[in-house]
């Protein structure tokens, strides 16, 4: 499922349906002013995260999401990207590793774009990150059963392998959908 990116110009043209000094208008205008001050051709989760970092409040993206969902053109890509940014920004403010930070490691390159990972819970992303980091640290391209056993050995349990298997199953479903 390919997404059409939304240009900054599309967001700059949005007219809030709120009163001139209403909260939805003010939130939308704040983003529009921010976009005007930067040369950003397309908007995605990283642009929203940069905006949130500049504003510096925990709820800025959640509030913006409420306001934009009222007036957004029917652009599923933007809704998905905004939601991902809201979740990541909350994690950043709470001092927890963001999904986008985890997925920046070079061992995640085959799994990009990041939107493919949105269906995975953050715990699944973290577990898969540990596995990929383990493989990368040992220069293993094609893991054998012994590699899985050694990986799970530090927990002295089969639970990490079961969780990893469930994550792989989810990823196979995402790949199957993308190929349709």
Tokens, residue 145: 């059963």
Q: Which uninterrupted H or E stretch holds 6?
A: strand 6-7
pLDDT of residue 180: 46
Under DSSP, the state recorded for 115 is: G
Q: pLDDT tens across 88-126, in order?
A: 999 999 999 998 888 888 888 877 676 677 888 888 989
Mean pLDDT of 39-52: 90
Q: pLDDT tens across 1-27, in order?
A: 345 667 788 787 777 776 778 888 889
pLDDT of residue 4: 60
pLDDT of residue 73: 63
Q: Are 79 and 25 in contact (CB under 8 A)?
A: no
Q: pLDDT tens across 157-177, in order?
A: 888 899 999 988 888 765 455
Q: pLDDT tens across 64-87, in order?
A: 998 888 777 667 778 888 999 999
Q: Are 134 and 96 in contact (CB under 8 A)?
A: no
This prediction's pTM: 0.74
Residues in the chain: 180
């Amino acid at each position: 499922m390919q997404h059409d990116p939304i240009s900054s110009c599309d967001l700059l043209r949005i007219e809030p349906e709120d009163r001139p000094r209403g909260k939805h208008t003010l939130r939308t205008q704040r983003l529009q002013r921010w976009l005007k001050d930067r040369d950003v051709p397309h908007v995605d989760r990283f642009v929203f995260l940069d905006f949130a970092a500049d504003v510096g409040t925990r709820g800025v993206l959640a509030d913006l999401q409420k306001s934009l969902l009222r007036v957004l053109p029917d652009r599923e890509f933007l809704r998905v990207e905004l939601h991902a940014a809201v979740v990541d920004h909350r994690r950043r403010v709470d001092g927890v590793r963001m999904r986008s930070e985890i997925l920046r490691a070079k061992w995640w390159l085959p799994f990009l774009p990041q939107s493919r990972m949105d269906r995975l819970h953050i715990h699944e992303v973290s577990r898969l990150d540990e596995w990929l980091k383990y493989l990368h640290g040992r220069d293993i391209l094609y893991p054998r059963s012994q590699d899985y056993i050694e990986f799970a050995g530090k927990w002295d349990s089969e639970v990490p392998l079961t969780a990893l298997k469930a994550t792989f199953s989810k990823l196979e479903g995402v790949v199957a959908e993308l190929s349709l």
